[in-house]
Amino acid sequence: MIHSLFIINNAGDVFMEKHWKSVINRSICDYFFEVQSKAATPEDVPPVISTPHHYLINIYRSQLHLVAVVTTEVPPLFVIEFLHRVMDTFEDYFGDSSEATIKEQYVVVYELLDEMLDNGFPLAMEANILKELIKPSNILRTIANTMTGKSNVSGTLPTGQLSNIPWRRTGVKYTNNEAYFDIIEEVDAIVDKSGSTVAAEIQGRVDATVKLSGMPDLTLTFMNPRLLDDLSFHPCVRFKRWEAERVISFVPPDGSFRLMSYHIGTQNLVAIPVYLRHNISFREGSGGRFDVSVGPKQTMGKTVENVSLEVPFPKSVLNVTLTPNVGKYTFDPVNKIMVWEIGRIDPTKLPNIRGSISLQSGAPIPESNPTISVNFTINQMAISGLKVNRLDMYGEKYKPFKGVKYITKAGKFQVRT
Amino acid sequence: MASNGGFQNSGYNNDRPPSSTGSGDADVATDPASSSFFMNDYKKHDDLKQMLDTNKDNLKLEAMKRIIGMVAKGKDASDLFPAVVKNVVSKNLEVKKLVYVYLTRYAEEQQDLALLSISTFQRALKDPNQLIRASALRVLSSIRVPVIVPIMMLSIKESCNDMSPYVRKTAAHAIPKLFSLDPELKDQLIEVIEKLLADKTTLVAGSAIQAFEEVCPERIDLIHKNYRKLCNLLVDVEEWGQVVIINMLTRYARTQFVNPNRDDMIEEESEKAFYGSDEDEEKEDKEEEEDDKPKKKPYVMDPDHRLLLRNCKPLLNSRNAAVVMAVAQLYYHCAPRAEVGMVAKSLIRLLRSHKEVQYIVLSNIATMSVKRKGMFEPFLKSFYVHSTDPTHVKLLKLEILTNLGTETSISTIIREFQTYITSTDKEFAAATIQAIGRCASTIPEITDTCLNGLVRLMSNRDETVVAESVVVIKKLLQMQKREHKVVPQEHKDIIVHMAKMAQDITVPMARASILWMIGEYSDRVPKIAPDVLRQCAKNFINEEDIVKLQILNLAAKLCITNSKQTKLLCQYVFNLAKYDQNYDIRDRARFLRQLIIPGEKAGAFAKYAKKMFLATKPAPVLESKFKDRDQFQLATLSHVLNTKATGYREIPDFPEVAPDPTVRNVEVPTAWVADTNLLAQKKKKKGGKVKPAKKKSFYSDEESEEEDEDEEEEEDSSDETDSSEEDSSEEEEESDEEEDEEDEKPKKKSKKVEDEEDEESSEEVDSSEEEESSEEEDEEEESSDEEPQPKAKSTKAKTGATSNAAMLLDLDLTMSLGDTLVNQDAEEAEVGSTVANPAAVGKSDFLMPVLAQDMSSLSIGGDTGRSTTVTAPSFIPTKTYELLNRITGGGLSITYRFTRTVSIFSEKMASVELTLTNSSDKPVLNVKIGDKKLQSGMEIFDFPEIGNLGVGATVTATMGINFADTTQPATFDVCTQEKKFSVTVKAPVGEQIQPVNMAENEFDKQQGKLSGMNENSGTVDMATENTDIKTISRRVYEVANVVQVPSMQDNTYKFAGKTLSAGALVLISVKLDGRKAALKVNCEKMVIGSMLLKDLKDSMTKKD
């Protein structure tokens, strides 16, 4: 399936290659560079590129291009999903997946890549199996290894590989048994000029950090599970029980993982937690006026924090001179992007920014106003109204410490002006 | 190579310059430097060699790490081969692993030296450690040295009988490797594949199918026997295997089952066939089918077909996008049309994933949406473009929005498009204009509006926008002309307007379009046309080729219609063209001259010139780029590229007559073992509780009884005759497990080679074997629970098992989840080993319900549930009701409709979507709900206040109403800043219901309970065209928010739902008898039942 993998940095340097079948010369990447040079931004590179004898499927992540070479028909999502999992694994192992880290850890990276695929077909992709095969290096272990002469590579097959729950290793022991669940919801919205919502969706996920000894069997129930009608689960969740009883029952992997993600679509009503009042105008000759204020709306009494606005101005804008009453703003004269960092919204003093825009002399006035991207975070609230009812544990005797956190964030939250 | 500093210096600065593999600037930059130290380099490599030759492990490791660094970077390290290969015997695992990595990279280039390592691998293949066996096989099969092909073949054959599933998995991976090395071995490899396909562990299944797909995809006959097993195992296979298996099963289904949509295809002549690439062929099919229509039986889905669809459905909730997509394409290609819709939701969910995933999913949706608008219509807004999307994603979304446009939704889509035109991304803006053109051409109602809009765009400042609109307007006018035979008079000013612009537009395509149009409609602008030609002639030599050709055309056409004014101009242009650099233009000029300005010996054609040039031309067809994409299977590489990729296999058409379904039958007992096996596995996964398994037929009850019997008969007979089909291990399992327990080990042992198999017989049980045997024990115990066996026998079993009981328990500990009790209760466990799982003793009391649920979910039919789960609506009505009239509301008009979605305010509420339109001449302020006059029990959740409704603006708002299962309307006030209006939302009973899934037997049971007063029935005469299932279900869905219950009875259609407020079941059944239909509605709430029956009757009798 997957023949070879090349990792390329932004400068066009192929700094790592791995072949699972016969060797393919790295000159194959020239096709990729050719397409890349035509794209305006790295994001615009099409994910699938056809060359006379090979097909290049690539992803762009953490400033790196991962280019997989395939020679025959293969579901493209299969490869894309795999490449993203590779990056996820790197992040899991090394904390991040930047070029520097990968170069520094090249031996582990290479061992991982070798273990993940066999003949181009996934062999071991589960994080905890890999971690047993190839131990993540940390300073302590490095020292211990040099002292004892042991290595990072395991000599026995991880138990998970053969069991029906490959995601959990056996013999887990903690002194403090704890299970934390973060319910994170991102609001994607398009708000039109007049302030009414054109489209709004919620993308939610439940990230869990479970550090429990032994083989706990957890059951998570929600107050209002009917909200969730489109979701995806970690393989550990018993789907039948969800279908029948609307409870999430699972034996958790050890450590951090994404338990489930859900999507609340445009057909449902989505509360919009902030509003923008804006007045942006361009005038012939001099420039224009810019006046935007932000206020909370439908926040159920919670404060809106980490608010920031990003305004991509048209290319003909030279500079902006603005005065915010809260926070501060920066203007990038190259990309023409103005960012206004507000912080938390104080309802008694609504944040406002106003001032003038100067245009290039002679350039025609822009025909459209910029689309403003809004960022915010609201703690202690899930905007969909989802609430955890309780978490029960079976199969183990101890009392675990349990915690749930709710966060609402802005996803692609855009206001057209 | 600034970043090189981060990389381990030692590894990278030692490299020799790249020989053949290197390319790219970075390498070139280092070349001069390193080549000047060429000698030094050799020395450094010597250094590495020395390190490898020492007997200190850490030095070796260090050296290997540096070498791997070179390999990773793509530098040539082949000259170190002799030094490295020696270390293949190293005891240090990490060194060994790195040597393996090195070997797979370079063995192909150094074949002779690589042979030195072979014996080590052969020895390792016999190692007691399964990981070592597996990795030896991996490397052995990866080194691509043709000489060792026989050795590889032998090792694969041996490994596929290995007791560790992990090793068997590796063997499956090795098969395609060997096949690519020597395709002649195909037949032998097929034998091995056949064996692996029969493997019952989930770990092996995916890899075995992958080997099958790469080596012998045409041998579909190998799948028959394993089909049901694969379907049943599917959920437990790891996600990557799932993708491969589903893809293979899609092809299988297309060759083995008949088209589930066959009936529809005949009845809806007008609708195009969905499947198949070749339309002509399809037509033939249709005709053929029509011929034998009278004798045709109604379609009944093969139970195996249903099994596949049902078992794949839960995978739509996978976290892996590739799995979701694979299921989606399976449904698209193989499911009945009515069921395909449910994949839409999951695909929409994927859109929030990484942008690459988004791109692939969108392009697949684009193809689906061409043929199946309805599927994605409810999700229209999910395709709205965000300004931050990459361009290719934007274009795909645009494509989909255009495909989805219908009479009702088009106005919102066009409004959305208007904002896109002003986008700073000009490629996107231009594509939007084209999209508007396509909408205008497909939906005649809006053509004029669009045309006007496009004309307005012609005065846009941006040139690309103007040019694109000109091109689109040209196409639209041309199409209108064909419809009305002449261009309507009002379009004359558009042409005049465009003619005036001709000189200002510089984009060649647009100029050419304008000129063509003036030529074509020169009779509409007789004064302007010659003048345009004059100006063009003046500037002829500076024009682009495409424009020049159109100038020639214009000249020719004008010369025919108005030769008095233009003949000279025309000649002038032809003369200029005669000496043009482009031969096309020269040719065209020569050709036209002969026709238009014939010389003395005028050709015979000259007199037909008018007919030739001014003939009515066929209008261009504006259609989706994705229109013929569906010739490719969805979710494939070929589909994304829109060309056939290497190794792409056409998706076969459904056969006319289904091939013999009995080939999939396996002997009854074996099937049972497979089943219980599955049960056992599941049980382990789900809490390790065992309860006497209800004996179930292999098939679900949903399928007809007779069929079951038939099958059993067949299977019985085959059982007798068919003795050696299955491999020995299965037989062992099927017959009597007790003996098996003791027998197995010796048997296995005999297969193995003696040297490593010492006296440690019972202790040295590999964990895999433990697993197997424990499974078997589970089975055994189940069976003893099921059918009481002689006590003596079970004690015998116990003694047989006790020798490794400890180990089994050990395993249970690791494998099963709920049973940590085992630890302290080991004694109890041993004593009570007749009870399947010790944990059950301790905890059965409170975990029993869980188990019951599990069991019900395990039955293959999935039909035992009292589980009536609420599902998504199958149909979303678009019917709107008026709430407030424009006149009474003083310009404010409100309509409402029921969205049938779950109200977020309360589960008991129906979601009502209000559409408020202000058609007065001043804004309406502060629209909100005022006083409510409600019956007791009813509730209203207000929509958020609308601050300002501008002139002409339309806003939608959602409110929730709990009608408390009555038919009383909800009356309340809508207040604006100035006035208040009393309005009433009527409650059609059908909207107070929500659909629930239930199985047919459950349906029948509940229907039985709700008889007498709770039953309302009646008959209706239906128009003949309404009697197909599709129409009936549509009619029912229009009236009530219910979902169809899959039914096995002919001509009876069942639907289920429950009321929103009280949750009372609502069951509808429609029994067809010719044109008569007997309707039955059962509901505890009598009012609802009778009202619903009335509504249904009305709906059924109405004609389209």
Classify residue A167: in a domain, yes or no. no
Indicate which of A26, A84, A162, A257 best probes the interface with B, i.e. most B CBs within 10 Å of its own CB: A162
CA dist B987 and B970 (Å) reads 8
User: What's the average model confidence in pLDDT over B762-778?
Assistant: 43
More confident residue, B967 or B121: B121
Q: Do B820 and A47 touch (CB under 8 A)?
A: no
- Give the chain B residue whose CA is nearest to the CA of A10: B3
Give pLDDT, residue B780: 44
Mean pLDDT of chain B: 74
| CB-based contact, A164 to chain B, within 8 Å | yes
Number of Cβ within a 10 Å radius of residue A333: 11
Q: Do B953 and A240 touch (CB under 8 A)?
A: no
Residue B204 shares a structural domain with residue B99: yes
Q: Which tokens is A97 given? A: 């997946």
Residue B959 shares a structural domain with residue B1016: no
Q: Which tokens is B361 given? A: 């999913």
Give pLDDT, residue B854: 42
Classify residue A141: in a domain, yes or no. yes
Residue B1035 shares a structural domain with residue B953: no
Classify residue B56: in a domain, yes or no. yes
CA dist A409 and A186 (Å) reads 5
Residue A197 shares a structural domain with residue A263: yes
Residue B1003 shares a structural domain with residue B1029: yes
Looking up residue A231, the CATH number of its domain turns out to be 2.60.40.1170
Indicate which of A118, A367, A372 best probes the interface with B, i.e. most B CBs within 10 Å of its own CB: A118
Give pLDDT, residue B282: 42
Classify residue B64: in a domain, yes or no. yes
pLDDT tens-digit series, residues B1009-1029: 787 777 888 888 776 666 677
Q: Work out the minimum CA distance from B495 to partner chain A, whole angstroms.
A: 26
Q: Work out the minimum CA distance from B638 to partner chain A, whole angstroms.
A: 7
| CB-based contact, A148 to chain B, within 8 Å | no
- Give the chain B residue whose CA is nearest to the CA of A252: B817
Residue B164 shares a structural domain with residue B198: yes
Give Dmax (Cα) for chain B: 119
* Contact residues, chain A, for B771 at CB < 8 Å: 162-163
Q: What phi, psi does A16 have (nearest 5°)?
A: -150, 140
Give pLDDT, residue B829: 40
3-state DSSP assignment of residue B635: coil
Number of domains in chain B: 3
Q: Among residues A11, A71, A68, which one has the least CA distance to residue A42?
A: A11
Which of B581-595, B722-736, B858-872 shows the lowest mean pLDDT across its residues? B722-736
**Amino acid identity, residue B1054?**
K
How many H helices and E strands in chain B?
Answer: 48, 16
Q: Nearest-5° angle of CA B681, CA B683, CA B687?
A: 130
Residue B908 shares a structural domain with residue B1052: no
Classify residue B39: in a domain, yes or no. no
Has residue B997 got a pLDDT over 90? no
Of A77, A157, A251, the CB nearest to B131: A157
Q: Work out the minimum CA distance from A130 to partner chain B, whole angstroms.
A: 13
Q: Do B853 and A240 touch (CB under 8 A)?
A: yes
Residue B975 shares a structural domain with residue B1029: no
CA dist B812 and B773 (Å) reads 11
pLDDT tens-digit series, residues B684-714: 444 444 444 444 444 444 444 444 444 444 4
Domain that holds residue A145: 4-162
Residue A375 shares a structural domain with residue A388: no
Identify any residues that bridge with B918 across adjacent strands, giving them in sequence order.
B892
Q: Do B129 and A1 touch (CB under 8 A)?
A: no
Classify residue B950: in a domain, yes or no. yes
* Contact residues, chain B, for A166 at CB < 8 Å: 238
CA dihedral (B394, B396, B402, B408) in degrees, to 10, reads: -80
Classify residue A157: in a domain, yes or no. yes
Q: Work out the minimum CA distance from B993 to partner chain A, whole angstroms.
A: 15
* Contact residues, chain B, for A371 at CB < 8 Å: 387
Has residue B753 got a pLDDT over 70? no
Has residue B741 got a pLDDT over 60? no
CA dist B457 and B266 (Å) reads 45
Residue A20 shares a structural domain with residue A125: yes
Q: Which DSSP state fits A251?
A: -
Of A9, A84, A412, the CB nearest to B386: A412
CA dist B163 and B409 (Å) reads 61
Using 50, 70 and 90 to split pLDDT, how confident is the model at B33? very low
Which of B25-29, B67-71, B417-421, B865-869 shows the lowest mean pLDDT across its residues? B25-29
Query: Among B952, B967, B987, where does a domain finish?
Result: B987
Classify residue B911: in a domain, yes or no. yes
Query: Among A105, A129, A162, where does a domain finish?
Result: A162
Give pLDDT, residue B927: 81
Classify residue A385: in a domain, yes or no. yes
User: What's the average model confidence in pLDDT over B881-896?
Assistant: 82
Give the A window 277-296 contacts with B, CB below 8 Å: none
pLDDT tens-digit series, residues B822-835: 344 444 444 444 34
Residue A120 shares a structural domain with residue A30: yes
Sorted by sequence, the CB contacts under 8 Å of residue A43 that are 6+ apart come out as: A60, B355, B390
**Amino acid identity, residue A14?**
V
Percent of chain B with pLDDT strictly greater than 90: 15
Bridge-based pairing state of the strands A231-233 and A255-264: antiparallel
Which of B17-26, B74-83, B1052-1061 shows the lowest mean pLDDT across its residues? B17-26
| C-alpha distances in Å from residue B784, one per residue of B64, B166, B504, B744, B833 | 57, 31, 92, 20, 12
Sorted by sequence, the CB contacts under 8 Å of residue B989 that are 6+ apart come out as: B967, B1040, B1087, B1088, B1091, B1092, B1095
With contact defined as beta carbons under 8 Å apart, do B1095 and B877 qualify?
no
With contact defined as beta carbons under 8 Å apart, do A324 and A318 qualify?
no
CA dist B781 and B775 (Å) reads 10
Residue B953 shares a structural domain with residue B1028: no
Domain that holds residue B918: 881-987
Element housing B734 (H / E): helix B728-734
Q: Do A81 and B321 touch (CB under 8 A)?
A: yes
pLDDT tens-digit series, residues B584-640: 999 998 888 888 877 666 667 777 888 888 887 777 777 778 888 888 888 899 999
With contact defined as beta carbons under 8 Å apart, do A298 and A197 qualify?
no
Q: Do A123 and B169 touch (CB under 8 A)?
A: yes
Classify residue B207: in a domain, yes or no. yes
Using 50, 70 and 90 to split pLDDT, how confident is the model at B395? very high
Looking up residue A94, the CATH number of its domain turns out to be 3.30.450.60
Classify residue A400: in a domain, yes or no. yes
Of A77, A268, A368, the CB nearest to B904: A268
For residue B733, how far is the Cα from the chain centroid? 38
Has residue B143 got a pLDDT over 70? yes
Residue A51 shares a structural domain with residue A147: yes
CA dihedral (B148, B149, B151, B155) in degrees, to 10, reads: 130
Query: Among B217, B238, B257, where does a domain finish?
Result: B257
Q: Do B239 and A235 touch (CB under 8 A)?
A: yes
User: What's the average model confidence in pLDDT over B464-491?
Assistant: 75
User: What's the average model confidence in pLDDT over B224-233?
Assistant: 91
- Give the chain B residue whose CA is nearest to the CA of A108: B65
Q: Work out the minimum CA distance from B318 to partner chain A, whole angstroms.
A: 5
Classify residue B602: in a domain, yes or no. no
Give pLDDT, residue B23: 40
Of A188, A232, A411, the CB nearest to B319: A232
CA dist B118 and A268 (Å) reads 64
Identify any residues that bridge with B822 across adjacent strands, giving them in sequence order.
none
Q: Nearest-5° angle of CA B733, CA B737, CA B742?
A: 105
With contact defined as beta carbons under 8 Å apart, do A48 and B641 qualify?
yes
With contact defined as beta carbons under 8 Å apart, do B118 and B151 qualify?
yes
Has residue B774 got a pLDDT over 70? no
Element housing A282 (H / E): strand A274-283
pLDDT tens-digit series, residues A66-96: 999 999 999 999 999 999 999 999 998 888 8
Number of Cβ within a 10 Å radius of residue B91: 7
| CB-based contact, A63 to chain B, within 8 Å | no
Q: Among residues A377, A375, A369, A343, which one has the least CA distance to residue A291?
A: A369
Q: Do B687 and A217 touch (CB under 8 A)?
A: yes
Of A17-21, B111-115, B511-515, B991-995, the range with the highest mean pLDDT is A17-21
Residue A374 shares a structural domain with residue A394: no
Classify residue A170: in a domain, yes or no. no
Number of domains in chain A: 3
CA dihedral (B808, B812, B815, B818) in degrees, to 10, reads: 180
Give pLDDT, residue A331: 93
- Give the chain B residue whose CA is nearest to the CA of A24: B21
Q: Do A50 and B643 touch (CB under 8 A)?
A: yes
Q: Do B21 and A104 touch (CB under 8 A)?
A: no
More confident residue, B763 or B931: B931
- Write out residues in chain A with pLDDT < 70, as ranges: 137-155, 157, 159-164, 286
Q: Do B144 and A46 touch (CB under 8 A)?
A: no
| CB-based contact, A84 to chain B, within 8 Å | yes
Sorted by sequence, the CB contacts under 8 Å of residue A204 that are 6+ apart come out as: A183, A184, A185, A186, A261, A262, A263, A264, A382, A384, A386
Q: Nearest-5° angle of CA B178, CA B180, CA B186?
A: 70
Percent of chain B with pLDDT strictly greater than 70: 72
Sorted by sequence, the CB contacts under 8 Å of residue B583 that are 6+ apart come out as: none
CA dist B483 and B487 (Å) reads 9
More confident residue, A241 or B836: A241
Q: Work out the minimum CA distance from A221 to partner chain B, whole angstroms.
A: 14
Residue B918 shares a structural domain with residue B1052: no
- Give the chain B residue whose CA is nearest to the CA of A189: B386
**Amino acid identity, residue B219?**
R
Has residue B943 got a pLDDT over 60? yes
- Long-range (24+ apart) CB contacts under 8 A made by B735-742 are B735/B669, B737/B776, B737/B777, B737/B779, B737/B780, B737/B783, B737/B797, B738/B780, B738/B793, B738/B796, B738/B797, B738/B800, B740/B776, B741/B773, B741/B776, B741/B777, B741/B780, B741/B797, B741/B800, B741/B801, B742/B800
* Contact residues, chain A, for B20 at CB < 8 Å: 25
Residue A258 shares a structural domain with residue A280: no
Classify residue B787: in a domain, yes or no. no
Q: Work out the minimum CA distance from A276 to partner chain B, whole angstroms.
A: 14
Q: Work out the minimum CA distance from B891 to partner chain A, whole angstroms.
A: 19
Query: Among B987, B1019, B1041, where does a domain finish?
Result: B987
Q: Among residues B679, B685, B693, B677, which one has the least CA distance to residue B816?
A: B685
CA dist B502 and B497 (Å) reads 9
Classify residue A171: in a domain, yes or no. no
Of A193-202, B803-812, B1080-1089, the range with the highest mean pLDDT is A193-202
* Contact residues, chain A, for B108 at CB < 8 Å: 22-23
Looking up residue B946, the CATH number of its domain turns out to be 2.60.40.1150
Residue B971 shares a structural domain with residue B1005: no
With contact defined as beta carbons under 8 Å apart, do B199 and B205 qualify?
yes
Give pLDDT, residue B489: 64
Q: What phi, psi does B563 have (nearest 5°)?
A: -70, -20
Q: Work out the minimum CA distance from A362 to partner chain B, whole angstroms.
A: 14
Of B174, B648, B686, the CB nearest to A238: B686
Indicate which of A36, A56, A69, A77 best probes the interface with B, i.e. most B CBs within 10 Å of its own CB: A77
Q: Which tokens is B458 given? A: 């012609």
Residue A220 shares a structural domain with residue A252: yes
Using 50, 70 and 90 to split pLDDT, how confident is the model at B869? low
Residue A409 shares a structural domain with residue A395: yes
Residue A95 shares a structural domain with residue A206: no
Using 50, 70 and 90 to split pLDDT, how confident is the model at B667? low
Classify residue A172: in a domain, yes or no. no
Residue A155 shares a structural domain with residue A59: yes
Which of B180-184, B770-774, B925-929 shows the lowest mean pLDDT across its residues? B770-774
Of B138, B176, B645, the CB nearest to A73: B645
Q: Which tokens is A125 given? A: 């992709």
Radius of gyration (C-alpha) of chain B in whole angstroms: 38
Looking up residue B1046, the CATH number of its domain turns out to be 3.30.310.10
pLDDT tens-digit series, residues B292-332: 444 456 778 888 999 999 999 999 999 999 999 999 999 99
Residue B181 shares a structural domain with residue B65: yes
Q: What phi, psi does B639 have (nearest 5°)?
A: -65, -45
Residue A241 shares a structural domain with residue A288: no
Residue B886 shares a structural domain with residue B946: yes
Q: Among residues B848, B836, B873, B884, which one has the least CA distance to residue B1040?
A: B873
CA dist A377 and B15 (Å) reads 50
Which of A82-86, B38-42, B693-697, B913-917 shows the lowest mean pLDDT across its residues? B693-697
Of A110, A151, A251, the CB nearest to B92: A151
Q: Do A46 and B392 touch (CB under 8 A)?
A: yes
